[in-house]
Amino acid sequence: MPQPRAPINQAIEGMLAEWKRGMLSFWALGLILQRPMYGLEISKAIEVSTQGRLKLGPSTIYQLLRRMEKRGLLTSRWERSRQGPPRAYYRATAAGREVVRRFTDEVLMPGSPISGALGELMSALTVNFRRSDDFGT
């Protein structure tokens, strides 16, 4: 008997939400390291780069930015806008740059233990998915 889809969808949505929470600080800091940005600009950059699959509401991005500012990872400065009200532009601090550097080195770079382990897992999963539509059977 096939499994009901609702629990599977709930599990996927939960895992994606956890991933999103874990990656957003790195992602926002990485964007800000490229150039100072304001909150909605960061949200839009993430949305565009994920082809619309990851959309952040204004409260999500601004809560994240405030938390990172309190932790000393970034600073903000209000600047006048040609269109609309003044905007808070965010810049990474030395601590924010170090967080991005270490996360990149320890998690994302090829050859890091985590990246290597995930690569091995993905290879094994790919083989298993090819063997069976039901995975693991």
Q: Going residue by residue through the chain (137 aa), what tens digit of pLDDT does each one get?
A: 555 677 888 888 888 888 887 789 999 999 999 999 999 999 999 999 989 988 888 899 999 999 999 999 999 999 998 888 999 999 999 999 999 999 899 888 888 888 888 888 988 988 888 876 555 55
Instruction: State if pTM tops 0.85.
Output: no
- What pLDDT, on the 0 to 100 scale, is given for residue 27? 92
What is the reported pLDDT for 119? 85
- Domain map of the chain by residue range? 5-131
Q: What is the DSSP string of the chain?
A: -PPPHHHHHHHHHHHHHHHHHHHHHHHHHHHHHHS-EEHHHHHHHHHHHTTTSS---HHHHHHHHHHHHHTTSEEEEEE--SSSS-EEEEEE-HHHHHHHHHHIIIIISTTSHHHHHHHHHHHHHHHHHHH-TTS--
- CATH class of the domain defined by 5-131: mainly alpha
pLDDT for 134 equals 55
pLDDT at 48: 95
